[in-house]
A and B are shown apart, each in its own frame.
Chain A
Amino acid sequence: MEVELLSHGEPSARDRVDVAVLFADHHLGLVRLALLMVGDLSTAEDVVQDAFARTHAGRRRLRDPDRALAYVRSAVLNGCRSVLRRRSVAFRRPLPYEAPIWSAESAAMLSEDRREVLLALSGLPRRQREAIVLRYYFDLSHQEIAAAMGVGDSSVRSAITRGLAALGRQLGEDT
């Protein structure tokens, strides 16, 4: 469970990252992030469990405790990307998965307006969608978003700006 980190001469318990505790603390948030990305809860849970398993297996490579959370977030985002990529080609072989929360068939009862927003969001390019969810659901700073997505600061800014503009156009608002 525990990982030796490069300590740079500071001996303390703070330098150890417990992957299990990290995930346990952020489990719900990570599942919700994945849910907003992939649209259904069971896939979201799978993605987080997968990310947990992978991070756990590679925990020796996790050196920087300050970046551990960003690492974990990007692991989840990566998992979501894989799922979405797989789905985009998966219709050769129909995979049963729950109706996404933004569809009218979803068991989660959301109002028409909420669904409309989420549907428009799901149609955005990947980078814009991720940046917007991290910004408006997690309230992360641009730096944190950049770290989780593995892109530069300025890319995050432009992705959010463009994403918002596209959403505004689709949802009939003037921003």
Chain B
Amino acid sequence: MIDQRLREALSEAAQTARLHSIQPLRTPSKRPRPRVFLLVAVPTAIAIGVLVLVRLTPPPMEAATSGPPPRLSAFLCLKNDAFPRCKGRREATIDERRRIEQVLRSLPQVASFKFEDQGEAYRNFRAKIVASADPQEREFLASVRPEEVPASFRVKVKSAAGLAAVARAVEGLPGVANVVSGP
């Protein structure tokens, strides 16, 4: 009879699942419902927290950073300078230099700065760069004339974090050709 065969087949197949061989059932873990107000409240709280922190944290002290203070140099425009900022204009004037000094003094990130005029720049150039160059390059570098070496502001910044801010502030000023980090 078909129903007898069916019964036997079903029960035999079912017997292959035994209680000790099957995994126990687990209560589903409770999934927290999304709380809409948290979606607004949490980012707001974080934003306020960050704002307060940023406002209240004093600018990091130089002592806190290990190693020498980071430096950057802002080079001034020359006569017929190739830098795009100096295109179509004359050499940086005294007034522009004053303005740059003023800005550097006002920036809290600046530890100290020094103006290096063209004569001094040329002497440094000869002493440091030309002297340490390869013999082949030396000939070319020695042909650089004093009026082709730009004057610059050599700036010491209190911490590496302030480097970008100082660079941004100085870069856009009239008379500045370019800003590079390093001495």
Contact = CB atoms under 8 A, between A and B. Distances in A.
Given A56-B28, A117-B6, A137 B14 contact: yes
Nearest to A109: B16
A83 to B, nearest CB: 16
A49 B25 contact: yes
Contact of B10 (A41, A136, A164): A136
User: Main SS of chain A's interface residues?
Assistant: helix
Given A45-B23, A164-B3, A36 B16 contact: no
Contacts of B25: 20, 23-24, 27, 48-49, 52
A136 B16 contact: no
Interface residues of A, number: 39
Given A117-B5, A171-B2, A36 B12 contact: no
Contacts of A171: 2, 5
6 contacts: A28-B18, A28-B19, A32-B17, A113-B5, A114-B9, A167-B2
Interface of A: 1, 20, 23-24, 27-28, 31-32, 35-36, 41, 44-45, 48-49, 52-53, 56-57, 101-102, 108, 110-111, 113-114, 117-118, 121, 132-133, 136-137, 164, 167-168, 171, 173, 175
